[in-house]
Amino acid sequence: MEKKKYPIGAESYKLYEEIGQGVSASVYRALCVPFNEVVAIKIIDFERDNCDLSNICREAQTLILVDNPNVLNAHCSFVSDHNLWVVMPFMSGGSCLHILKAANPDGFGEVVIATILREVLKGLEYVHHHGHIHRDVKAGNILIDARGAVKLGDFGVSACLFDSGNRQRNRNTFVGTPCWMAPEVMEQLHGYDFKADIWSFGITALELAHGHAPFSKYPPMKVLLMTLQNAPPGLDYERDKKFSKSFKQMVATCLVKDPSKRPSAHKLLKHSFFKQARSNEYIARALLEGLPTLGDRIKALKKKEEDMLAQKKMPDGKMEEISQVEAWDVTDGAKSKGRKKKKKKFAESEGVEVDKEEEIGCWDNSVL
């Protein structure tokens, strides 16, 4: 079957509300007028300070070439004025993080988690097979459409292990989000490979189980130190009695500090934990029925953040947590410049040291 060719030109699209925002990119719900089809459009501003043209081109090319039901692809991309437009499927359920914060603050049930993670692993298996490392696996980058299909999104920080035809077995760049970042990525001693994604996958499993990632209440520098110095996080055999032994074992196999001892995505898919996974329709019923529209959820979360900032009652780690759920997270959760200034002003008024944290925060640079 011939692939549907989406129009290349801004005049063929009608932009609706903004559903995501980053330092140099915004995502909109939009209408592809010739097809009368709702899509998502990521608009990347070349003229913004933080733009890296090589990253922008790499992301657009990667997204268009993607051909896997569990990895978010792009229909097309084109330049309009000083912006790159990337047209993608509209994932109306939003991100898993978005759904957690809107309706499941204490985490999902085990069958839901198994179903979501199985689909994510299928996506990772595809990504790794084609020589890529995702480098930012987390609930905020797991998207769900109206039918319950699960897709791994945001190749903004993905790395290709096959540059110019030569395999580079290890990467040495420092990117990702601290709470989900593998120890070897933090250390930068010997580089890292696709096994870094398996660590992030394990952290994401805990995030889906508890409603938040381990160490999420701490500032990034402390997260780094705790990840390197403490024993790996996991599901507690006493506190997490509602979860099965196989779930606890699966998480433990991912969160091993020695990357060579972590399983591949292909091997992990064979773990007994995933035998309980259900269909996309099950995810749609379990998570999306009765949920407000994505636009309404975004408005509610933004209002919550503004109210908390105004009242100066936001606890440690909460600003980052909320910023990650402000939108459909193909743009990751990076902050706009205005939002950064507002948060810095709030932190300073509370007597919090912000310079080092801002420096660490720039690691989370998957927004192009």
- How is residue 39 annotated by DSSP? E
- Which pLDDT does position 168 carry in this prediction? 44
Residue closest to 363 by CA, chosen among 219, 230, 197, 208: 219
Percent of the chain whose predicted confidence (pLDDT) is above 90: 58
- Which pLDDT does position 189 carry in this prediction? 82
Alpha carbon distances (Å) from 247 to 100, 243, 252, 274, 331 = 19, 7, 9, 9, 30
- Is residue 295 very low, low, confident or very high in pLDDT (cuts 50, 70, 90)? confident
Query: Which pTM does this prediction carry?
Result: 0.81
Please give the positions annotated as active site: 136
- Is residue 141 very low, low, confident or very high in pLDDT (cuts 50, 70, 90)? very high
Q: Is the pLDDT of residue 232 over 80?
A: yes
The more confidently predicted of residues 339 and 42 is 42
Angle made by CA atoms 140, 143, 146, in degrees to the nearest 5: 140
**Scanning the structure block, which residue is given the tokens 């009695």?**
241
Q: Is the pLDDT of residue 136 over 50?
A: yes
Binding residues for ATP: 42
Q: Is the pLDDT of residue 349 over 70?
A: no
Structural domains of the chain in order of their starting residue, each with its CATH number: 10-89 (3.30.200.20), 94-288 (1.10.510.10), 294-361 (no CATH)
